[in-house]
Amino acid sequence: MPHSNILLPSWHLEDVSRDLNEKDAAAVLNGYGLVLHPWVLAACHAVPRWTAAPSPGEIERDRILILPDPSRAKLPAGWLAQAEEQGVIVLQATADRAETLQKLHANPRLRELLGQQPGTHTEDLALLLETPPCEEETFMALGTVYLLTLLLSQAMYHYDNIDETRFTDFLLEAARASLRQDRDRVNEMLRLTCEQLLESREKFYPVDAHLIDMCLLSEGTTTQEIPLLVESDHVVNVFCTGEFLENLSASQPEILAGLRTAFEQETLSLLGSEWGDAATPLLPIQTARWQLREGMASYARHLGVTPAVWMRMRFGLSTQLPLLLHKFGLSGAYHLVLDDGVYPDEEQSHFCWEGRSGVVIQAISRIPLSIENATSLLRIPERMAEAMNHDHLACVVLARWPKLRNPWFQDVVRIQKIVPVLGRFSRLDHFLKETEDSGQHTNHEQRQYLSPYLDQLTGRKQPDAISRFVRYWEVQQREETLSWLRTTTQLLGGKIDGGSNLPDDLPRLSDTLPEEGLRELGQAVEQQLELASRNFAEIVSRGGAEKGGYLILNPLSHARLAVIEFSHREVQGKKLMPRPCEAVKHLQLNSESSLAVVELPACGFVALEQMPVEQYRAARIKAPMAGEWFLQNEFFHVQIDPESGGIQRLRVHGSTENLLSQRLVFRLDGSGGTVPRNAPTWGQGTAEPSYTKMVADTIQLTRAGSAQGRIEVHGRLLSPDQQRTVAKFKQTFTATRGVRTLGVEVEISPQTLPTHLADRSYYAMRFAWAASAAKVRGTLQQSQFMAGERRIESTGPIEIDDGDHRVTLVPHFLPFHQRTAHRMLDSLLIVQGESSRRFRYEIAVDSPHSCLTAANNSVPPLVVPMAVLPRKQSGWFFHLSAPNVQLLHVEFERSVPEDTPSGSEPPGESCRFDFIETEGKHAVVKFATFRTPRRAWEVDFQGKVLADLSIVGDQIQFESLPCDYMSIRVQF
């Protein structure tokens, strides 16, 4: 019998997984389906081998050639026509499987050859040709898996591992049984054939291999496609958001019911994430917590299960994520970005991901392989070999939509139900539990994660790519102040009116950050703050003296100096101002207002009496706060550049070292730059960026009092040739006695707007420092990290520490910054589509705790005019002993944790306190409350008790891990 072959369009077998386009790859896969077709096996009495189309071999009559479409062009000229003339049977394989089978069934020469088989009677031949062979699709599927097994063997550098004799014998017997329509015999022989393929794979990898079928559900998924998941006869890992389920429940509840049944029966496995696709790394950590909580609640409500493994389609990775997932009970994470963005993308099948706080969860970072097309399916062996060689753990993640649009993945599924030749389909959570990790903890740095949100927002021409984040943070801070006021009022025995519901109002806007929604919510919160602060002040002042004055409220959990400006109220023809007292460290009388530097206790109040302005006698000062082109206080001296109007030199007293310089810039170019956006090192590109020149028109000393000095600069930003005005600006510098921060207020009036990419065309505040060895730290999700060498995403303070001095930049939630040189930083103010024109910055010198400094300047105290002042001048309600730990949120509750040990005291008034460690340091904390606590527990974010906490007097003692975000529930 002449030998038979499949002609491949390459010289090497492994090249079919690399060099083919989609149509050609589909034709090759269909060709290998024909290789093991019962008719072909029965006619050949052997398994056709592959050969390269450029060298097709001898022409022999009755030789069967399987010819995929891409191989036709590779044949020698005239060879195919000559072969057909001399009786070679050519079976064409196209990209369409149905067409390929149709051509096979209609091939007259193959029919003739089948009729010549020994023992074939005429009536049997007629039946054979009219009836499709039994389990024809299974044979075709086996051909696909046969090719993938050969490619896997090649990728692992193992050859000829299949026992050809047994493999061929089983196949031929299966083919004969198929022609006889003996289904039981066919299935038995196919099982033995598949076992031969499995044995060949186990020769070079003798342990379990895993296929992770991952189906993605998103807003583009049609309701007709979702029921296909319920019909799956293998384990499918399904990803969707809580918001998607909520929308599906409203539109198609019957489809959701079917999904719920499949999840409860564990035929589907859930991969979950947050409620929506908010830019959580750039938002407060409280928002990330809310998103996860609402997502988990949505899964439980609609599917009856909650996910054990987290993943997300849009960028959402951060080094705080392991801590959040752990406290929500999730044991695993898919360390992956299906969106744009920069992150540590080393592929691992199973590793321990350690977050900033030291919490470890199991994770996988293998990039999924799309199985929506033939070219990707051919790469399964290559991807599995990479996992085998790198991780010693065979795992391939296959990503798809619910509806499969090609037959080849179904081929894999069909064969895997018989014998797991390539591996068994696994739940991702079971995979992470049952397999061993790499043995090392992977601790990525936060600077390795850079979100794509600035590029995406500006690229889509959406407005306010920067200020939308600022607005959200500002409303969040006011919401937390309101929550503190309302909770403390309740603990004091007062009643509160209905008000803002933080878990519902603000975070629900976090997905899109709409300007109007945030503005309206901000206005509502301000109104509630006014009512709540008035209510709080009245409770504190009960039984007090009828003296006019002010009650100053500090919502922060640490004592601080607050700079407060009081307008002169006129009562009975007299202008009134605060009376000097122990809490007022510095006081300055201005023309229409008084400025006071007030020492405020932690989470407490100070009562200030008022007096007529004419009674005030200013104290003499030894050193002026301001002069021509300079400002100073006891901590620093700042020199204003008379030419540019920026900071020429910032230094401490007794030193000539320049700690910081500052100016405003507009980057003009949009096509070039010194470093590509994601470049790891410094280098020179093809085009140097060009910047404007800052020119001061007027520099005016507007305030030079005993407590505060202020300089106002008006000027222009000129093009590099100084022939054109690009923008006008006003810049105001303020220094206050007793305060380590220099205030900078900027107003820019652009005449040229940014265009192109956001990182190449922008207005920015530029900072430069002298110390080349200085360490730069940023702050995300309220805890610090070591910043990168190029881009910095930091919504909190940026710290420049040279070992001798520390400069803290407080950007007031401006999130995007980039280093244009090793000792230079641009803080982006205006990019394409940005509407904000006014900005604030604070620059602190030698502040021991940067996050406290940022909180002091971002969370203003509440000033309540009062007719009755409390009997005590000051008082506190809550206090923390560790300055690196902050109180984030306080919430009043009337229950204790559900799993509180039996025998405990009956439920009573309780509060939940949320804390964050900000500096990456371990802390032993004493938390004092104004009411004596009865019980205290550390709880996770599901309300489950983690530990009983010790109470000594009015102090609760607990430990905080570095960058820990924790909740404590206290019963009073």
Q: Given a cut of 60, is residue 779 above it in pLDDT?
A: yes
Task: Give the pLDDT of residue 687.
Answer: 55
The verdict on residue 400 lying in a domain is yes
- Who's near 99: CB < 8 A, 6+ residues apart? none
Task: Give the pLDDT of residue 529.
Answer: 94
Question: Are both 401 and 480 inside the same structural domain?
Answer: no
Give the three-class secondary structure for 785: strand
pTM for this prediction: 0.91
Question: How do 424-425 and 910-917 pair as beta strands?
Answer: unpaired
Task: Give the pLDDT of residue 672.
Answer: 43
Q: In this predicted model, what pLDDT tens digit does every residue of 605-628 receive, in sequence order?
A: 999 999 999 988 887 777 889 999
Question: Are both 390 and 531 inside the same structural domain?
Answer: no
Question: Are both 650 and 680 inside the same structural domain?
Answer: yes
The verdict on residue 104 lying in a domain is yes
Task: Give the pLDDT of residue 591.
Answer: 86
The verdict on residue 459 lying in a domain is no
Long-range contacts of 645-652 (CB under 8 A, 24+ apart): 645/694, 645/695, 645/696, 645/699, 645/713, 645/714, 645/715, 645/729, 645/731, 646/694, 646/731, 647/733, 647/843, 650/742, 650/807, 650/843, 650/845, 652/805, 652/845, 652/846
The verdict on residue 45 lying in a domain is yes
Residue 859: DSSP 8-state: S
Beta strands in 165-267 (DSSP E): 209-216, 236-239
Neighbours of 960 (CB within 10 A): 21
Question: Are both 82 and 137 inside the same structural domain?
Answer: yes
Give residue 485's Cα distance to chain centre. 32
N residues, the chain? 972
Question: Are both 160 and 280 inside the same structural domain?
Answer: no
| CA distances from residue 953 to 490, 492, 927 in whole angstroms, order as listed | 22, 19, 11
Task: Give the pLDDT of residue 682.
Answer: 41
- Who's near 178: CB < 8 A, 6+ residues apart? 38, 133, 134, 135, 136, 139, 186
| Residues 733/704, Cβ–Cβ less than 8 Å | no
Q: Given a cut of 90, is residue 452 above it in pLDDT?
A: yes
Question: Are both 806 and 916 inside the same structural domain?
Answer: no
Q: Given a cut of 80, is residue 728 above it in pLDDT?
A: yes
Neighbours of 22 (CB within 10 A): 14
Q: What is the number of structural domains in the chain?
A: 5
Last residue of a domain, one of 511, 540, 569: 540
| Residues 742/646, Cβ–Cβ less than 8 Å | no
Long-range contacts of 182-185 (CB under 8 A, 24+ apart): 182/134, 183/134, 183/135
Question: Are both 656 and 756 inside the same structural domain?
Answer: yes
Question: Are both 754 and 798 inside the same structural domain?
Answer: yes
Last residue of a domain, one of 184, 204, 224: 204
Looking at per-residue pLDDT, the higher value among 391 and 647 belongs to: 647
| Residues 549/594, Cβ–Cβ less than 8 Å | no
Task: Give the pLDDT of residue 525.
Answer: 94
Question: Are both 43 and 63 inside the same structural domain?
Answer: yes
Q: What tokens were used for 890? A: 């306080």
Q: Given a cut of 90, is residue 675 above it in pLDDT?
A: no
Give residue 152's Cα distance to chain centre. 34
Task: Give the pLDDT of residue 123.
Answer: 56
Q: In this predicted model, what pLDDT tens digit does every residue of 169-223 receive, in sequence order?
A: 999 999 999 988 899 999 999 999 999 999 988 888 788 899 999 999 988 788 7
Q: What tokens were used for 43? A: 């006619």
pLDDT, mean of residues 443-472 = 95
Q: Given a cut of 50, is residue 903 above it in pLDDT?
A: no
Task: Give the pLDDT of residue 894.
Answer: 64
Question: Are both 199 and 213 inside the same structural domain?
Answer: no
Give one DSSP letter per residue of 20-84, joined into a string. --HHHHHHHHHHHHHHT-HHHHHHHSSPPEEEETTS-----TT-EEEEEHHHHTTSPTTHHHHHH
Q: In this predicted model, what pLDDT tens digit does every residue of 207-266 receive, in sequence order?
A: 889 999 999 998 878 878 888 888 888 999 999 999 999 999 988 888 888 899 999 988
User: Buried (b) or exposed (e) across 549-567, using 16+ Cβ within 10 A?
Assistant: bbbbbbbbbbbbbbbbebe
CATH of the domain at 400: 3.20.110.10
The verdict on residue 684 lying in a domain is yes
The verdict on residue 825 lying in a domain is yes
Looking at per-residue pLDDT, the higher value among 902 and 132 belongs to: 132
Last residue of a domain, one of 396, 416, 448: 448
| Interatomic CA distance for residues 736 and 636, integer angstroms | 11
Task: Give the pLDDT of residue 677.
Answer: 46
| Residues 30/68, Cβ–Cβ less than 8 Å | yes
Range of the domain at 121: 5-204
| Residues 647/768, Cβ–Cβ less than 8 Å | no
> pLDDT tier at 127 (50, 70, 90 boundaries)?
low
253 burial (CB, 10 Å; 0-12 / 13-18 / 19+) is exposed
Question: Are both 632 and 681 inside the same structural domain?
Answer: yes
Longest dimension (CA), the chain: 126
The verdict on residue 864 lying in a domain is no
Q: Given a cut of 90, is residue 308 above it in pLDDT?
A: yes
> pLDDT tier at 487 (50, 70, 90 boundaries)?
very high
> pLDDT tier at 157 (50, 70, 90 boundaries)?
confident
Q: Given a cut of 70, is residue 688 above it in pLDDT?
A: no
Backbone angles phi, psi at 403, to 5 degrees: -95, 120
Give residue 406's Cα distance to chain centre. 32
Q: In this predicted model, what pLDDT tens digit does every residue of 538-591 receive, in sequence order?
A: 999 998 888 889 999 999 999 999 999 999 988 888 899 999 999 999 999 998
pLDDT, mean of residues 49-54 = 92
Question: Are both 828 and 892 inside the same structural domain?
Answer: no
| Interatomic CA distance for residues 759 and 627, integer angstroms | 37
Task: Give the pLDDT of residue 668.
Answer: 83
